[in-house]
Amino acid sequence: MKFAAAAIIAIATSASQALAFAPISSQQRSTSLNAVLSKATGQSSMDPAVIARYDALPYPDDSILAEYVWVDAIGNTRSKTRTLPSKKTESVDSLPKWNFDGSSTDQAPGDDSEVILKPQRIFKDPFRVRSDGKANILVMCDTYTPAGEALPTNSRAYAEQFFLGKEDEETWFGLEQEFTLFNLDEKTPLGWPEGGMPSREQGPYYCSVGPENNFGRAITDSLYKACLFAGIDISGVNGEVMPGQQEYQVGPCIGIDAGDQLMMSRYILQRVCEDFQVFCTLHPKPIVEGDWNGAGMHTNVSTKSMREEGGLEVIKQAIYKLGAKHSEHIEIYGEGNELRLTGKHETASINDFCYGVANRGASIRIGRDTQDDGFGYFEDRRPSSNADPYLVTGKIMSTIMGPAEPEIAPMDREES
């Protein structure tokens, strides 16, 4: 710390000396000096030694820090912290409700701005780790008016109605979250030249190794460990097809818990990127020009009857139902998805519904193992990377539990 302080003083002194002999006004001198100091103190504020000093302070034995997380009007996560007695954090039912200023998140008018946060799921906090055997917590909440009505932006409440009473179905969801990492200019993906394109086309970056191929591994690995610590059922990670693009998978999770876990994982992802000072976007087509893949949230689905003997026929019946309501699903499968679902780059056209065995160019893919075993799961490849996991899982559940629909011919490779 003495070295860091001395360096700042030296920089400021040399800047002052240079300014003193330069033929500039006092206003220019002040502006230049402030710019130098601002840049230097900005670096100092990120000094690990400074952060470690405060991290070393012990937490009170009888208190827990609870980070209340919710989804705002455009699908981003927000959060704020409160201190709670340890005994109030033993279960989600023991956690108190809280509130926030909804006028600042476009979720309430200014003259009646209070929005109620209702705790729904507890996770361990990987960012405020304790050494006393206890755990600070992250709390996934949904949002209500003071009168107890779910906000229009409360997609969790919408989705939950389709799972209630259907617990015997034991519906599993596995969500594959793709994301793209950029420098803080928000224009240049990691590994890309500033203002230009990579010298090589797609191919070497997927599940890659090497500094010329994989960009952002440290971020993804940090996310992986943080999610495991939090208690999220993260099942894997990999580098994706476009350079600077990564993926992780959450699940299998049952019912509404898939939305809770995926949304909290997105919060953790943003916090990790905050630490690394890297911009992360869930846009489904972050690079429109050129021959580059978009980003999705492929959704794997399996009910109890699909996992049993004869399950393949149950899967096909579910797919026919999904095809009959294709436009309804596309409507809630993410903003900007039309840029991604073009029929190219491992997607089906947004205007057409199709399915096939091992066909990643189809709307719905049946895995080769599922086809051979006669039971298993299917993958809905249509949801975009920014799709709301509550809306996606709730809509799928609503559709596959609906009435039968006419058969659709598959688009298997052998029949193409």
Whether residue 218 is found in the same domain as residue 270 = yes
Q: Is residue 158 part of a domain?
A: no
Q: Is residue 260 part of a domain?
A: yes
Whether residue 169 is found in the same domain as residue 290 = yes
- Whole-angstrom CA distances from 243 to 99, 205, 295, 358, 389 are 41, 6, 12, 24, 25
User: What is the reported pLDDT for 48?
Assistant: 80
Is residue 63 very low, low, confident or very high in pLDDT (cuts 50, 70, 90)?
Answer: very high
Q: Is residue 360 part of a domain?
A: yes
Is residue 10 very low, low, confident or very high in pLDDT (cuts 50, 70, 90)?
Answer: very low
Whether residue 328 is found in the same domain as residue 395 = yes
Whether residue 385 is found in the same domain as residue 322 = yes
Average pLDDT of the chain to the nearest whole number: 90
CATH code for the domain in which residue 276 is found: 3.30.590.10
User: What is the reported pLDDT for 30?
Assistant: 47
Predicted TM-score of the model (pTM): 0.88
Average pLDDT, stretch 75-97?
96
- Tokens, residue 233: 């059922």
First to last CA, the chain: 67
Q: Quickly tell me which residue has 């050129």 as its tokens.
A: 290
Whether residue 169 is found in the same domain as residue 230 = yes
Please state, in angstroms and rounded to a whole number, the distance separating the CA atoms of residues 11 and 173. Answer: 55
Please state, in angstroms and rounded to a whole number, the distance separating the CA atoms of residues 347 and 361. Answer: 5
Whether residue 113 is found in the same domain as residue 146 = yes
Is residue 27 very low, low, confident or very high in pLDDT (cuts 50, 70, 90)?
Answer: low
What's the pLDDT tens digit per position in 153-176? 999 999 999 999 999 999 999 999
Check residues 43 and 15 and name the one with the higher pLDDT.
Answer: 43
User: What is the reported pLDDT for 73?
Assistant: 96
**Overall domain count for the chain:** 3
Whether residue 218 is found in the same domain as residue 343 = yes
CATH code for the domain in which residue 140 is found: 3.10.20.70
Whether residue 135 is found in the same domain as residue 180 = no
Whether residue 248 is found in the same domain as residue 144 = no
What's the pLDDT tens digit per position in 188-233? 999 999 999 999 999 999 999 999 999 999 999 999 999 999 999 9
Could you tell me if 260 and 138 are in contact, meaning their C-beta atoms sit under 8 angstroms apart? no
Please state, in angstroms and rounded to a whole number, the distance separating the CA atoms of residues 329 and 350. Answer: 11
- Which of 153, 184, 212 terminates a domain? The answer is 153
Is residue 46 very low, low, confident or very high in pLDDT (cuts 50, 70, 90)?
Answer: low
Question: For a pLDDT cut of 70, what percent of the chain falls above it?
Answer: 88
User: What is the reported pLDDT for 52?
Assistant: 87
User: What is the reported pLDDT for 246?
Assistant: 97
Whether residue 173 is found in the same domain as residue 47 = no
User: What is the reported pLDDT for 51?
Assistant: 84
Residue 305 has pLDDT above 50, yes or no: yes
Whether residue 254 is found in the same domain as residue 324 = yes
Whether residue 271 is found in the same domain as residue 287 = yes
Average pLDDT, stretch 235-259?
97
Residues spanned by the domain of 228:
163-415
